[in-house]
């Protein structure tokens, strides 16, 4: 293929382990439809959903049927517009998210096409390496804090606070003025100390009954706290939000919550340009800055996915895609 009319992208032709099925391929350059934008990607962020889709998880619910790309959140520069796009300009820096319910993932690519309403312009003071971490981990943290009714003075426990969503939840709760206790493994304590939480707990050394409190809100990024744990942590009641559903309880929580002292919620990430814009304002003002703990070259993206697959990642992993022609 003529390299001038192609781009590189990570793809898989069948479901399976990421180190067996993923390939960095050269593909024809995509073209935007009438309501789309073409973006030259500078940075993309890794999330657990990325390798889960490669392995075939959620294949019946999301658009991950092979052949397919990888990755959902990215930041870069608009290179071309569809004929019906008027709110974005060529050369503008943006952050975007591909929504697997609507379109196949493909953020780990030098060029991405997506609807114009799925991108948000970047303020001058926010770089693309930070911005690409916001549409998933950042918005998840914001929405979980909203569901938990976190505000100034709220006593919040963030369980599993060292990961992408967990550490972002600590940072956003602090930005809201909450009093935050963060849990993590012993190996994560040094990282947690950089986040500014009021208290830190090594959850491997003590049961939930010894994690402090009482708390008004629990943000469970491990999704393993049971009803007894929550009762010990929130004896006066409050709101508990988990990142993953627990069946069959999740189906009944909306019906039972009005009768409960502890209201239980599960995050169902909602796409929101307004939420991304709110996070960008925090980043621009220096009040919200997710930690990019490791960056990988485009050719090493597989290693980042394997690191995420192995667990215990602290902060966010970012791929330096850096298309040379992007300015």
Provide the CATH number for the domain around residue 66.
Answer: 3.90.180.10
Q: Are residues 171 and 82 in the same domain?
A: no
Q: What is the mean pLDDT of residues 46-54?
A: 97
Is 27 buried (19+), middle (13-18) or exposed (0-12) by CB count in 10 A? middle
pLDDT above 70 for 323: no
Question: Is 74 domain-assigned?
Answer: yes
pLDDT above 70 for 3: no
pLDDT above 60 for 327: no
Q: Are residues 177 and 119 in the same domain?
A: no
The residues that bridge with 25 in the sheet, in sequence order, are 9
Q: What is the pLDDT of residues 280-321, one digit of tens each?
A: 999 999 999 999 999 999 999 999 999 999 998 999 999 999
Q: How confident is the model at residue 164 (pLDDT cuts 50, 70, 90)?
A: very high
Q: Are residues 184 and 296 in the same domain?
A: no
pLDDT above 70 for 241: yes
Question: Is 281 domain-assigned?
Answer: no
Q: What is the mean pLDDT of residues 83-99?
A: 96
> Domain range for residue 244?
136-266
Q: Are residues 120 and 212 in the same domain?
A: no
The residues that bridge with 178 in the sheet, in sequence order, are none
Q: What is the pLDDT of residues 109-149, one digit of tens each?
A: 999 999 999 999 999 999 999 999 999 999 999 999 999 99
Q: Are residues 186 and 125 in the same domain?
A: no
pLDDT above 70 for 2: no
Q: Are residues 260 and 140 in the same domain?
A: yes
| Contact (Cβ atoms closer than 8 angstroms) between residue 58 and residue 64 | yes
pLDDT at 76: 98
Query: How many domains does the chain fold into?
Result: 2
The rounded percent of the chain whose pLDDT value lies above 70 is 97
Question: Is 283 domain-assigned?
Answer: no
Q: Are residues 87 and 163 in the same domain?
A: no
pLDDT at 310: 94
The CA distances from residue 22 to 8, 15, 51, 184, in Å, are 13, 9, 10, 31
Q: Are residues 242 and 315 in the same domain?
A: no
What pTM value is reported for the model?
0.94
| Contact (Cβ atoms closer than 8 angstroms) between residue 227 and residue 237 | no
The rounded distance, in Å, linking the Cα atoms of 1 and 4 is 9
pLDDT at 19: 97
Q: Are residues 18 and 73 in the same domain?
A: yes
Question: Is 306 domain-assigned?
Answer: yes
Question: Is 272 domain-assigned?
Answer: no
Q: What tokens does 70 get?
A: 């990888």
Picking from 77, 36, 81, the residue whose alpha carbon sits closest to that of residue 326 is: 77
Is pLDDT larger for residue 256 or for residue 12?
12
Q: What is the mean pLDDT of residues 56-78?
A: 96
The rounded distance, in Å, linking the Cα atoms of 129 and 117 is 21
Give me the CATH number covering residue 191: 3.40.50.720
Q: What is the mean pLDDT of residues 227-252?
A: 91
Query: In sequence order, what DSSP letters do the residues of 84-149 get, joined into one string?
Result: T--S--TT-EEEEE--TTTS----SBSEEEEEGGGEEEPPTTS-HHHHTTIIIIIHHHHHHHHHTT
The rounded distance, in Å, linking the Cα atoms of 240 and 245 is 12
pLDDT at 249: 77
Q: Are residues 162 and 254 in the same domain?
A: yes
Q: Are residues 249 and 174 in the same domain?
A: yes
Question: Is 277 domain-assigned?
Answer: no
Question: Is 122 domain-assigned?
Answer: yes
Q: What tokens does 92 get?
A: 């503008």
pLDDT above 50 for 326: no
Q: Are residues 88 and 101 in the same domain?
A: yes
The residues that bridge with 220 in the sheet, in sequence order, are 159, 242
pLDDT above 60 for 1: no
Q: How confident is the model at residue 79 (pLDDT cuts 50, 70, 90)?
A: very high
């Amino acid at each position: 293929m003529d390299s001038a009319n192609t781009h590189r992208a990570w793809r898989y032709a069948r479901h399976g382990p990421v180190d067996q099925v993923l390939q960095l391929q050269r593909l024809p350059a995509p073209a935007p439809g009438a309501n789309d934008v073409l973006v030259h990607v500078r940075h993309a962020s890794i999330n657990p959903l990325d390798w889960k889709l490669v392995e075939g998880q959620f294949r019946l619910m999301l658009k991950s049927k092979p052949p397919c790309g990888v990755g959902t959140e990215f930041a870069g520069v608009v290179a071309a517009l569809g004929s019906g796009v008027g709110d974005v300009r060529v050369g503008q820096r943006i952050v975007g998210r591909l929504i697997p319910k609507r379109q196949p993932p493909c953020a780990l690519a030098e060029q991405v096409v997506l609807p114009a309403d799925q991108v948000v312009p970047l303020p001058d003071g926010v770089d693309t390496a930070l911005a690409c971490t916001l549409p998933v981990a950042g918005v998840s943290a914001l929405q979980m804090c909203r569901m938990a009714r976190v505000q100034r003075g709220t006593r919040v426990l963030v369980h599993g606070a060292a990961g992408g969503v967990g550490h972002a939840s600590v940072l956003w709760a602090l930005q809201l003025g909450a009093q935050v206790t963060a849990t993590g493994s012993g190996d994560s304590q040094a990282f947690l100390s950089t986040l500014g939480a009021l208290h830190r707990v090594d959850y491997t050394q003590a049961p939930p009954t010894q994690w402090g409190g009482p708390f008004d809100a629990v943000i469970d990024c491990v999704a393993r706290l049971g009803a007894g744990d929550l009762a010990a942590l929130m004896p006066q009641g409050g709101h508990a939000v988990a990142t993953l559903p627990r069946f069959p309880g999740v189906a009944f929580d909306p019906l039972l919550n009005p009768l409960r002292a502890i209201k239980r919620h599960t995050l169902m990430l909602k796409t929101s340009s307004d939420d991304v814009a709110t996070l960008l304002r925090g980043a621009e003002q220096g009040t919200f800055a997710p930690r990019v703990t490791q960056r990988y070259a485009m050719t090493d993206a597989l290693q980042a996915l394997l690191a995420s697959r192995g667990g215990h990642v602290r902060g966010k992993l970012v791929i330096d895609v850096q298309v040379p022609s992007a300015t």
